[in-house]
């Protein structure tokens, strides 16, 4: 039995459907994060985020990393 839940994104307040019981059809499916990216997001949010926010945070993490770190060294 598939479990679907209506949620509100804690970051942007947009409504979305979380399909925890059918992850392959969930709005977040296919977005891959490195362990550092996951940690970056988990430090800031405790619940599911909408796809747009996940993609935006993934980009912000990349920009943050490029801005403050060069080959593992801080600028």
Alpha-carbon distance 32 to 58, whole Å?
A: 9
Q: What is the pLDDT of residue 71?
A: 60
Spatial contact of 74 and 67, defined as CB atoms under 8 Å apart: no
Alpha-carbon distance 24 to 2, whole Å?
A: 11
Alpha-carbon distance 48 to 41, whole Å?
A: 10
Query: pLDDT 10s per residue in the chain (75 long)?
Result: 456 789 999 999 999 999 988 888 899 999 999 998 999 899 999 999 999 999 999 998 888 887 777 665 665
Bridge partners, residue 69, by sequence: 74
Q: What is the pLDDT of residue 72?
A: 59
3-state secondary structure of 13: coil
Q: What is the pLDDT of residue 6?
A: 93
Token duo for residue 34 = 């490195």
Q: What is the pLDDT of residue 70?
A: 63
Q: What is the pLDDT of residue 1?
A: 45
């Amino acid at each position: 039995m598939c479990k679907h839940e209506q949620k509100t994104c804690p970051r942007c307040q947009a409504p979305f459907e979380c399909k925890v019981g059918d992850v392959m059809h969930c709005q977040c499916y296919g977005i891959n994060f490195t362990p550092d990216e996951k940690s970056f997001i988990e430090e800031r949010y405790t619940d599911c985020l909408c796809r747009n926010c996940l993609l935006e945070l993934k980009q912000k993490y990349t920009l943050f990393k490029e801005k403050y770190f060069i080959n593992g060294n801080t600028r």
